[in-house]
Structure formats: structure tokens, C-alpha cells
Amino acid sequence: MSAEPDPKPVLLVLASTYPRWRDDPEPGFVHELCKRLVARFRVIAVVPDAPGADPSGVLDGVEVVRYRYAPRALETLVNAGGIAVNLKRSPWKWLLVPGFVLGQYRAAWWILRRARAVAIHAHWLLPQGLVALRLARVFAVPYVVTSHGGDLFGLRGRLPAALKRRVAAGCAGMTVVSTAMRDEVTRLQLCPPLVDVLPMGVDLRGRFVPDPEQSRDSDELLFVGRLVAKKGLRHLLDALPGILAVRPTVRLTIAGFGPEQPALQDQVKRLGIAASVTFAGATPQRALPALYRRAAVFVAPFVRDATGNQEGLPVALMEAIGCGCPVVVGNVAGVRDLLGAAADAISVDPRDPRALAAAILASLQDPAVAAQRALALRAAAIGRIDWSHIAAGYADFIAQTCRVAA
């Protein structure tokens, strides 16, 4: 914690996925929002510890408090796939859940005893929303909750549904990252007092920008993301032999890591495409723009997985568009907010390998049209998803719903 507390109103942020250190390859969108909210709030983020993580301290103006929830070597509930994926893959990790939830509640409780917060911002309905609900009752402080997709579309069953309804009913307001998710809020009868569509943002003015000096590799396909089912990478691998039959020089670069990697590597060997596929592993944020600027096509074969989980509005897709990279995406509902009228031309059912291959080949074979479409997407996106716009939207939403003079 800082030696001289910031005089601005205190915003307590609860999250699970959060950078363990600067330039962590794990998704960093919560921190990217937090560091922009410090212009209007004293932001204190309560997040789980992890092996190798930095100690609690100030990162980009955000006071980051990391709480312990198990012996450090076992603090593996969040990273390398996310909570839901890790629980499915390793059922013994359910034993970590009580400590995870209680640890976050206890850490936040101590902070609220010392620093009176004007609002709590909980990222994800479960479990952070539940922690915020309890804290709100104890300290009479309002909270807003943001759903990022997996917590809304996944986590099925009567008990999770009932808990999500309680969190939504108790909040001052709720945000979701796509209009498809707002429709899902209605379908699930969550009934928050107010729900607004506010995606996460991307730095489209500084980091994720086109580079006219960088020429694109005419045969490189790029995938960026966690190696989990909803990202749909296995469907891209199924389509790759059909692409190689027409264009043998095509190569696929996979920038990401996750629990499906061994199975995906086995699939590559089974399909006989190992010479055309590179698993680049975990890639830090600073290295991503160069990948997006170099690739001929960014392929995001999103699907709704067996648990019902799917993407809300994927950050990697926004980053690729920011760099002017042509894209082909899976036709999950959330991406239409970003793609608009272009969705019909560049989204496809990735479970159909022929359709996916045809869409990718169409982009590869007419790069001028693909580039023109990509730049049009970027021009439409910059006024809607650049962080300057998104952070202001979140600050206003929190201030208005929680009656904060910020």
C-alpha cells in the first residue's frame, strides 16, 4: 500500500485473472482498465497470489494486494487456462476454491476496515460477485459487476444460476462486454437494476497500430490465445490440410499456452502437418503487435464449448484489428458488435473444416481486399473500443450507479 494514500475516492477491485508481473503473458485486461481508472479513483485491486508473482505493491498507479489461498506451490487455480478449465482438468483443485474465495473476502475486508471505499468493482459474477455481495452488506458499500463471458455463458446448473441471480440483484449495476451477453442476462433472468454493454478496451492509438513499414507474410496464419476449448484451435488444425492442399507454403503460428496444448500437438502429428505449424508458447504483450503486423490472416475459430462457455468480445481479435490484420473468426454471437456488417463475410462455423479453409483461402488469395476490409474495421473500432473511450465509460458507469462524486 502507498505511504501517503491517494485523496481520490477509493475503488476496490476484485478479480481473479490479473498480471502476476509486468508483461505477464496471461490476459491483462483487468489491470489495463484499472491503471486508467486511477485518473479518477484510488484503485486498490485484490487479486490472488500465484507461484512467481510479484509481491503486493503499486503497479502503474494501482495498489495491487495479492492474497494467499494455499501453499504457494499449489496456488494454481487461476492461471494457464482459467478457473473453470482448471477445475474440469484437475478436479482436486475444487479443494482450493474455499480458500480462494475466503482469502479474497478476508483481504478485502481488512482493506475496507482501513480505507473506506465508495464502490467495489467485481470482475466476473462468480466468485468475485459473491465476495462483493457479502462485502456490500457488511460495509454498506455499493458494487458493480462485470461479466466477461465464461461466467455468464458457462457455469450452468441450478446452484450457479441461483448465485448469479443473487449477485445481479444485489449490485448497483452490471456491465457485459457484448450485446449478445446482454441478451443472455435477460434470458437467464438475472435482473440487475441496470445493465450496460461496455467491452474491455485496446490501445488503438499507441500499441496496437498498423505499421506501413512492415510487410505482411503472404502465407502466415496467426492464432493468439489460451489453448482452451472455446478458442476452437483444434478446428483450425482440422482445416489446415485443406488449406495446404491448395497453398502448400502456408504456415500457422500459435502464440499461446494452456491445458489443451498436448492434445493439440498430438493432433498436429496425426494430421501430418507438423512442418507447417509452430507452437510459439506464451507470448508477452510487448511482442504481440509485431505478430499481428506480420501475419497474412489472424484466425480466431471461436466456438461454444461443451459446457456452454463462449467468448464475450475477445481482446486478441480487437488487437489484431487494431494492427490492421485481416481476420477470419468463428461465428459466435459476441463478435458481431466488433465486426458489424463485415461479420457475414469473415465469420464462419469453424466446426466445418471446408468452410473455414475456404474463408481463409479467400483472404490469402485476395490480400488487397482483405487489407481494405481490415482497415475499415479498424476505423470503425477506434471510436468504440480504444481504452480512452472504454475507461471513461467505466468511470462514468461506476460513478453514476454508485452515486460517486468522481
Give the separation between CA 216 and CA 339, rounded to whole angstroms.
22
The answer, yes or no, to whether residue 342 has pLDDT greater than 90, is no
Range 221-248 average pLDDT: 95
Range 82-109 average pLDDT: 94
pTM attached to this predicted model? 0.89
Cα 89 to Cα 155, 187, 260, 286: the distances in Å are 15, 29, 10, 30
Of 135-149, 323-337, 384-398, the poorest mean pLDDT is in: 323-337
Give the separation between CA 294 and CA 298, rounded to whole angstroms.
10
- According to DSSP H, which parts of 225-352 are helical? 233-246, 261-271, 288-294, 315-322, 336-339, 343-346
Residues 224 and 283: beta-carbon distance below 8 Å: yes
Digit-coded pLDDT (tens) for 9-45: 999 999 999 999 999 988 899 999 999 999 999 999 9
pLDDT for 227: 92
- Per-residue burial over 199-219, b if 16 or more Cβ lie within 10 Å, else e, is bbbbbbeeebbbeeeeebeeb
pLDDT for 393: 96
CA torsion angle 207 210 211 216 (round to 10): 120
Grid coordinates standing for 215? 510487410
Digit-coded pLDDT (tens) for 259-302: 899 999 999 999 999 999 999 998 988 999 999 999 999 999 99
Q: How confident is the model at residue 367 (pLDDT cuts 50, 70, 90)?
A: very high
Percentage of the chain modeled with pLDDT above 70: 98
Give the separation between CA 238 and CA 220, rounded to whole angstroms.
17
pLDDT for 331: 87
Mean pLDDT for the chain overall: 93
Give the separation between CA 277 and CA 262, rounded to whole angstroms.
14
CB neighbour list of residue 199: distance below 8 Å, 6 or more residues apart = 177, 178, 312, 313, 318, 337, 338, 385, 390
- According to DSSP H, which parts of 173-274 are helical? 179-187, 233-246, 261-271
Q: How confident is the model at residue 82 (pLDDT cuts 50, 70, 90)?
A: confident
The answer, yes or no, to whether residue 5 has pLDDT greater than 90, is no
Give the separation between CA 400 and CA 406, rounded to whole angstroms.
9
The answer, yes or no, to whether residue 1 has pLDDT greater than 60, is no
Q: How confident is the model at residue 156 (pLDDT cuts 50, 70, 90)?
A: confident
Residues in the chain: 406
pLDDT for 406: 52
The answer, yes or no, to whether residue 396 has pLDDT greater than 80, is yes
Residues 217 and 295: beta-carbon distance below 8 Å: yes
Give the separation between CA 31 and CA 64, rounded to whole angstroms.
9
Q: How confident is the model at residue 174 (pLDDT cuts 50, 70, 90)?
A: very high
Residues 207 and 388: beta-carbon distance below 8 Å: no
Give the separation between CA 346 and CA 77, rounded to whole angstroms.
35
Q: Is 18 helix (H, G, I), strand (E, B) or coil?
A: coil
pLDDT for 309: 72
